[in-house]
Structure 1
Amino acid sequence: MKKETYFGVDVSPLNYEEIIVDLQKRMERNEKSTIIAVNPEKVIKAEENEELKQLINSSTYQIPDGIGILLASKLKGGSISSRVTGVDMMDRLLQFAAQSGYKVFLYGAKEEVVVKAKQNIEAKYPNINISGYENGYVQDVNLVLDKINQAQADLLFVAMGSPKQELWIKENMNKTNVRVFQGVGGSFDVFAGQVKRAPLFFRKFGIEWLYRLLKEPKRLKRQLALPKFLMRVLFSK
């Protein structure tokens, strides 16, 4: 897979279906795979933080979560054709696990959130096997790892916020038999019904950022990363 690079940060050009196909081949070869979401804000942070940059670039799939990455690819004649959001990628993987018989483990968030997310996912995908879960407030890492291994999980979703969740995955992935790891931020809150996503209109046109800004004007400073990133891309060689 030939990746695109923006200011030293790699981005995978694959869409949801292509990732699933590639992932299944890697799972059949018993290879471990990691998924990390990339947006303009994270690219700018990674440019100033070498550890974060290495963390992103060492992942198997750097999904183009932000509309800014898609626009940057178009500006530079790249091959990224669509956004791949973290929460939708998780949903596609859950569907894939349900269809293929793979076991899933949910780790992170508050107890009531992860329990409700599990219940809602099982209602949506009756055939899914969520073989275990743990909230994000357990201090003993070995206890969590033992629980993951006892559950014989194939896919692990970690909801701790970025980059904490990706650092956790990097430090502990080889201590488990899990083959697919995704840091999913606040996705458990979405599946639990605690947080509502932007209406379909905003999601369809890649302007969820505008919806969030309208609801939370204090996010303006963060959202300025998008025009700053695109201007730099436009004038970069």
Structure 2
Amino acid sequence: MKPIKVGNVNVFPFRDMQELMDYTADDKKLLLSLNAEIIMKAEGEVADIINSNIGYADGYGAIKAMCRKGGKELKRIPGCELWLELINRYHSSKTFYLIGSTEDTICATVKKLKEQYPDIQIVGYRNGFIRQASEKNALLDDIRSKKPDFVFVAMGFPVQELLMDELYKVHVATYLNLGGSFDVFTGKVSRAPKWIQNIGMEWFYRFITHPSRYKRQVVYLQFLWAYYRNRL
């Protein structure tokens, strides 16, 4: 499958989540969700990380830009759903490691997963606040020692992508960048209603429900400007 260039990054034109999971089943790489914000901000080392792995469209802006460049029958693949589908598929046969969010949230995430999948093998987890070099080194050692099949990292862009690349160098596995997915999974944060998701306005819902995020939402307007001026 040939990726489509959008801005500085390559986005693979998956038609749905099933196709993505089948395509990457035997290929241990970073699976990177891409939306308008990430596409607009990705440059330098982070863009190189994305382009060396598997970027997929987790945003309608990315889908629109890809369709303009020849993509057909493409669907948005929400990262906050993909990791759960992977767990549903592999919970009894693969091992998992979770990194991200607060201590309370990561513990609640692990507890809920074990309730839903009693046979799940979570070999390790920790919160996303890695402040000291010693903490990162301990994490690298733990990943190297426990050798999980899947590593889910929910720390926000671009911190999570840089950490995933670093972890991948000590242990080859399938890594996913998940942003605030653990908060959604545990009910700490609510997603937009389905009809808002379906019209591609989930970013606007986040803006009106969390107005303090307004600085982050400006990038979506920049994306629209670039899209309509054929600069993506």
**TM exceeding 0.5:** yes
Place the TM-score, normalised by the shorter chain, in its bin.
0.7 to 0.9
Identity of aligned residues (%): 34
Alignment of 1:27-46 (within 5 A): 32-46=28-42
- Inter-partner Cα distance in structure 1 for 2:98 and 2:155: 11
Tell me, yes or no, if the aligned pair for 1:36 and 1:56 is still in contact at 8 Å.
yes
- The equivalent position to 2:189 in structure 1, one of 178, 195, 200, is 195
Partner SS state of residue 83, structure 1: coil
- Inter-partner Cα distance in structure 1 for 2:125 and 2:219: 35
| Displacement of 1:220 | 4.3
Contiguous gaps of at least 5 residues in structure 2: none
Counterpart of 1:92 in structure 2 is 85
Tell me, yes or no, if the aligned pair for 2:143 and 2:167 is still in contact at 8 Å.
no
- Inter-partner Cα distance in structure 2 for 1:233 and 1:113: 37
The C-alpha deviation readout for 1:114-150, integer Å capped at 9, x for no partner, is: 1100111222333322122122335422322333344
Counterpart of 2:5 in structure 1 is 5
- The equivalent position to 1:56 in structure 2, one of 45, 50, 57, is 50
Counterpart of 2:119 in structure 1 is 127
- Over the aligned positions, Cα root-mean-square deviation in angstroms equals 2.2
Partner SS state of residue 25, structure 1: coil
The C-alpha deviation readout for 1:191-224, integer Å capped at 9, x for no partner, is: 2222122222222333211211221334445334
Tell me, yes or no, if the aligned pair for 1:75 and 1:234 is still in contact at 8 Å.
no
Tell me, yes or no, if the aligned pair for 2:106 and 2:182 is still in contact at 8 Å.
yes
- Which stretch of structure 1 is more off in the superposition, 145-154 or 184-193? 145-154
TM-score (norm 2): 0.87
- The equivalent position to 1:158 in structure 2, one of 150, 153, 161, is 153
- Inter-partner Cα distance in structure 2 for 1:85 and 1:79: 18
Partner SS state of residue 98, structure 2: strand
| Displacement of 1:71 | 1.7
The number of aligned residues is: 227
Question: Residue 31 of structure 2 aligns to which amino acid in structure 1?
Answer: I
| Displacement of 1:181 | 0.7
- The equivalent position to 1:168 in structure 2, one of 163, 166, 174, is 163
Call closer, same or farther: CA 1:79–1:143 in 2, change over 3 Å: same
Counterpart of 1:108 in structure 2 is 100
Call closer, same or farther: CA 1:73–1:190 in 2, change over 3 Å: same
Call closer, same or farther: CA 1:41–1:169 in 2, change over 3 Å: same
- Inter-partner Cα distance in structure 2 for 1:21 and 1:149: 26
Call closer, same or farther: CA 1:172–1:35 in 2, change over 3 Å: same
- Which stretch of structure 1 is more off in the superposition, 74-83 or 10-19? 74-83
Call closer, same or farther: CA 1:2–1:183 in 2, change over 3 Å: same
- Inter-partner Cα distance in structure 2 for 1:77 and 1:227: 23
Call closer, same or farther: CA 1:82–1:150 in 2, change over 3 Å: same
1:204 aligned to 2:198? Answer: yes
